[in-house]
Structure 1
Amino acid sequence: MDISSIKLYATHEHPCSYLKNRSATTIFVDPLLNMNGRIYSELSDFGFRRSGSHVYRPNCRNCQACIPVRIPVDIFRPNRSQKRCEKRNQDVSMNIVSSIKTDEHYALYERYICLRHSDGDMFPPSREQYDDFLSSEWGVTRYLEFRLSGRLIAVAVSDRLDQGLSAIYTFFDPDEESRSLGVLAVMRQIDLARSLGLPYVYLGYWIKECEKMRYKNQYRPLQAYINNTWLTFD
């Protein structure tokens, strides 16, 4: 399928979720499109992301702050902090599962949202929202469980693209904040992509002025999609 023929729909302007006093517009892929892993992979190389069953990209009239970024895994070099994170979590096991539709997984998500993101769009959490947002789509989604002595402490949602892994979302036990489990989840996805022979891990959008998004700039080298080209920054 020629992706240039895909219909796109734009939202009305709405308050930006990341930058105060700014408006945002989002374009979505036609929800009636017979989406599959191949089309989704191609769209990812043009800066699109997935949220639930929707594939989208920011398209704001007067702002280009949202920059798609990805990690080229073969040349990635962990910094000192990332190395310390991996060493600190040597006692954490990782397991890949095909579903997280259990009370155990939802309880962790609910607690994470309530304690870490009570000021965000996903508060208050609900089971329906959880199922819709973190759904498994087009046969490409897998879930990385992180356990400490058998106890679930984190989950990373990861989509396998033709050319890499897309890090969709990570939630974790707020009591384990000192372990930097978000960093660990990215590092493990880098390792997984490398073991699968996939060249990239997609991190979504980096926003320089947004504190919550700045962490993505810590993975170097990093590639950014600027003016329809992937550029590498060391």
Structure 2
Amino acid sequence: MTVRFEAEWCHHELGPHRECAHTYELYPSDTLPPLDPGLFTGSFDWLGGPSGEPVPESSEAELARLERAVADLGLALPTDFLTYHRDGRLLWSLDDVAPAGNWTDLSGPLPSPVEPGAYLVRFFRDQQDCVVWYLYLRPGGECFVVHSWNEYESDYELLAEGELTEEETADPAAIRWCAASFEEFAYRYWVESRIHRDFTDGDGPTDPRLLAYLAHYAQQQPGA
């Protein structure tokens, strides 16, 4: 059974261009600025591309363990995800711009609670776990990014201890599709985080890339 997840983006307000009632808001994907697919070549050129700088040995070892665990399931981590996490300049680029102190944190492969044979890999989380982002890996090689208000690694520990039931974890509505690839997620998150910070710290962005992103919202205004 293949599950179709609701498509929503989770982030913050963008100055006067997009409101946010709480710390985070869910925004239907069809209301977001469209992205140029030509940006997503797997090389992260919009971040300057890979530098060849090494990552800390602990990070390298953690990624290697994850890669082996995923391979043991007959699955594979996407190339763009590996490129980002193996390069000293790219790694933590999202942490650096995160408005709410979000941070990179890898889990091992976690069985999808709603789709047999599929797995979740946590890679980024809010500091209070208000939202957690995962790779969603399906047999056959399909991979995309989802987010959830559930921290499934902890949920499975509680399940094993009898403090949660399978019915409580098996809710498809708790998982939302948010990007077709890791690099696409990274780009939108990086852009929106910089816009949010520029409005928080000053009068708004001046970077042409950020202004081009905001132009979508200006076009939605009455009389535009």
TM-score, normalization by structure 2: 0.28
More strand by share: 1
More helix by share: 2
